[in-house]
Amino acid sequence: MKKGDKIIYFTTPIYYVNSYPHLGHAYTTIIVDGLCRFYRLKNYEVFFLTGTDEHGDKIVKAASERGKGPQAFVDEVAKAFKEAWDYLGLTYNRFIRTTSSEHKKTVQYVLQTLYDKGEFYLDEYEGNYCFGCERFLTSKELDERGFCRDHQRPPVYLKEKNYFFNLEKYRGWLKDYLSKEDLIYPSFYKEEVLNLLEEPLPPLCISRPKSRLSWGIELPFDPEYVTYVWFDALINYLSGIGYPEDPRWQVYWERAHHVIAKDILKPHAIYWPIMLKALGLPLYKKLYVHGYWLMQKLKMSKSLGNVVDPIEVSQRYGKDALRYFLFREMAFGYDADFDYAQFITRYNADLANDFGNLVFRTLNLVEKYFQGRVPAYGPLTSEDLNYRKVVEETLEKYLKLFEAWQFHLALEELWQAIRFSNVYIDRMAPWKEAKEGRLERAGTILRNLLSALKSFALALWPVMPDTSQKLLSSLSLEINTLSFEEALNWEFPPEGSLIYKGAPLFPRIELPKETTTSEETKMAEERKEVYSIEEFRKWDFRIGKIIHAERIEGTDKLLKLEVLCPEKRQIVSGIAQYYKPEELINREVMLVLNLKPTKIRGVLSEGMLLAAHDERGLTLIVPEREVTPGAKVS
C-alpha cells in the first residue's frame, strides 16, 4: 500500500442542539475516537469530524422555552457539546457547526447545483406535519390513533407551497446499488433499508417557507424559503472537509466512514446517497449503525428521567472506566442496557482485579527486586515461550476483531490474555525465585510480563487512552513513538529502562455489604457437608463447545444453548445477565451431563453449565487451553 493510501475519514452525526449531551451522543463519539486512535497506531492519516446541527423548528422552540433567541441558544449548547468532548479527551480534527459561514456557503452551493440540474420543483402539498420529525409523515408512519410513532403526538395538518426533490427517480438505482455493495454494517440494517425501498419513495420536501420558519439556510434561488434541516445537516460531511474548494476534500471523501445510531438510518441510507448521486459524487465508503443504550430495557428519555450524563459518570468513576464499559458492554449494532450494578461489576472484575492487579504486582516486584529497572532476559523455558505464544495469538485476534467492529469480542479476547498473565505470574512465582537467589530466573519472568504489559497498553490505547499512557510512562515509553508494530516486540521496554510503580490504576469500588440472610446461612452450612470419592465419580463432568446461543423470550436471565460434548445437546442456562449470546459462540465450557433432562420455561435442558459466582458477578469455568469437545473432567 502506498503511503498516500493510508488515509481514513470518520464522522459522527452532527448532534441536534435542542438538548445537551447525553450517553447516546457520547457513545457514538467515543467509538469514533477509539477507531481514530486505532488507525493512528496503524500509521494512518486520520480525519475525525464531529459537530452540531443548529437549524430547524425544534431549535426555535427550545430557545423560546428558555427565553433566548435561536443564535444565543445554539451558541450555548454547541459550546456544551464541545466542552464535553474536550473533557472526555476526544481527538476530533474539526468541530463543525451548521451556523458557520463556511457550511452555509457549501449548502447553498449544493442547493444551487441541484436546482440548476432540475432536481427540485415547486409544488403545493398538504398533509400531516410532525414538528418533532420536522417533516411531513405518510399514513404508515402514524399509529392507530393517528399519532407520530416516534414522538407519540398528533401531527399538524399543513397546506403550503414548497420545493421538492424527486427521490423516486433514484429508488431503482439505490436498491440495485445496496443489493450489490456492502455499504451498511451490520448487514441487518441493510436489509431494513432494502425493505423500505420495496415501496415507492415520496418526494422529499427540501424547503420551509420563511413565513413559518426563518431559522435556517436561505435557498439561493428563492429568498422566501430556508432549506429543510436534514438537507442542511447531511452536507456537513462534505463542508467539513472543504468541499468544493479545498483540493484535498476528495482524498478524504473517497475514504469516508459514517457512524450513526439506528434512529437516523433512513436519512443516511436513503436521502444522503440519492443527494450524492444527484450531485454526481461517489457514495461514502461505509455506514456503521449502532443500537440504543437503554435503562431497564427502556430507551433513555428526559420525560422518563432515565438519561445518563456521561460527564457525571466520568467524574465519579473515571473517563477510561466509562469508555471501557461502552466498548465492552454493547455488541455494535444491537441495543444494550446501561446498568450501574453491571458497570461496577465490570470495573471491579475486569479493571481493578484482572488488569489493575496484574500491573501493580508486576511493577511492584520489579521495584522490589531489581531497583526499579527492566531486568535482563535469561534462558526462556517452555512456560515462558508458551506465555508469549498465548499473548501473541490473543493480540492478533484482538486487532482483527477490533478492526471488524466487534469491540466487545475483541476486549473479551484481550482479557483472556490478561487473565492468563495472572495465571502465569502465580505459577512462575518470581518473588519465590528472587527470595531463593535465582534472580536471573525472576528477571526473565518479570521481563516477559513487562513486555506483555506494554503490548496490553498499546492494544488498549483506543479504548482507555489515559490508562495506556500512564502504563507506558511507567515503562519509560511514550505512545507517540510507538505503533502496533511494537506490540509483538518482546525487547520493549529495553533492558535497564526505569520502571515507575505509581498508584493502582483502578482502585476497587467498595459497595456496602449486605446482611447475610437465613437462606445464605443455610447454604453455607450445606457447603460444609463432605462426600466420598465414589460419590464424586458418579457425576459426569465434561468439556463442551457452544455452537449456538439465543435468548429465551419472556425472560431476562435464560439462554438456550446448543453444545457439542461430543454429541449435540441443548442446555438452558441462567447466564443472560452476564453474557450476550454472540459472546458464547465457540466458547468451551465445563458441563454436568448426567442430570435428568428437565424443562425450564417450556424449553428442554439436557445438562448444566458450571460457573463461579462472587461479589464481582458470574464467570464461566473454562479450560486453560482448547480441548476436544467431550473431554472428561476429573
Nearest CA-CA partner of 224 in 180, 160, 168 = 160
Question: Exactly one of 161, 302, 389, 400 is catalytic; which is it?
Answer: 302
**What torsion do the CA atoms of 294, 299, 305, 308 make, to the nearest 10 degrees?**
40
Tell me if the bond preceding 310 is cis, omega within 30° of 0.
no
Question: Exactly one of 25, 104, 408, 560 is catalytic; which is it?
Answer: 25
Can 277 be counted among the known catalytic residues? no
Residue 151 marked ligand-binding: yes
Question: Exactly one of 61, 299, 400, 557 is catalytic; which is it?
Answer: 299
Convert 2-30 into a string of H (helix), E (strand) and C (coil): CHHHCEEEEEEEEEECCCCCCHHHHHHHH
Phi, psi angle pair for 56, to nearest 5°: 120, 170
Nearest CA-CA partner of 164 in 196, 127, 194 = 127
Give the chain's radius of gyration (CA, Å).
28
Q: How far apart are CA 252 and CA 243, in angstroms?
A: 10
Which of helix, strand or coil describes residue 524? helix
Can 169 be counted among the known catalytic residues? no
The three cell numbers locating residue 34: 477509539
Question: Exactly one of 36, 130, 205, 565 is catalytic; which is it?
Answer: 130
Q: List CB contacts of 128: < 8 A, sequence separation 6 or more.
A: 136, 137, 142, 146, 155, 156, 157, 158
Q: How far apart are CA 71 and CA 241, in angstroms?
A: 24
Can 25 be counted among the known catalytic residues? yes
Phi, psi angle pair for 490, to nearest 5°: -80, 5
Q: How many CB atoms are located within 10 Å of the residue 625 CB?
A: 9
**DSSP for residue 509:** -
For helices 171-180 and 187-196, angle between their N-to-C axes, nearest 10 degrees: 160
Can 290 be counted among the known catalytic residues? no
Q: How far apart are CA 630 and CA 590, in angstroms?
A: 10
Can 130 be counted among the known catalytic residues? yes
Question: Exactly one of 36, 148, 205, 565 is catalytic; which is it?
Answer: 148
Question: Exactly one of 151, 389, 432, 522 is catalytic; which is it?
Answer: 151
Distance set, CA 31 to CA 34, 151, 166, 338 (Å): 5, 27, 35, 16
Can 205 be counted among the known catalytic residues? no
Go through 485-514 and write b for each residue having 16 or more CB atoms within 10 A of its CB, e for each that does not.
ebbeebebbeeeeebebeeebbebeeeeee
Can 22 be counted among the known catalytic residues? yes
Residue 205 marked ligand-binding: no
Per DSSP, the residues of 263-316 read GGHHIIIIIHHHHHHHHTPPPPSEEEEE--EEETTEE--TTTT----HHHHHHH
Residue 36 marked ligand-binding: no
Question: Exactly one of 133, 210, 262, 285 is catalytic; which is it?
Answer: 133
Residues recorded for the chain = 634
The three cell numbers locating residue 451: 513486555
Q: How far apart are CA 202 and CA 469, in angstroms?
A: 52
Nearest CA-CA partner of 590 in 634, 534, 535 = 634
Q: List CB contacts of 279: < 8 A, sequence separation 6 or more.
A: 110, 113, 114
Residue 565 marked ligand-binding: no
β-partners of residue 617 are 614
Q: How far apart are CA 418 and CA 421, in angstroms?
A: 5
Per DSSP, the residues of 322-350 read HHHHHHHH--TTS-EE--HHHHHHHIIII
Nearest CA-CA partner of 254 in 276, 232, 230 = 276
Mark the binding-site residues for Zn(2+), compressed into ranges. 130, 133, 148, 151
Q: What residue numbers does the annotated binding site cover?
A: 130, 133, 148, 151
Enzyme catalytic residues: 22, 25, 130, 133, 148, 151, 299, 302
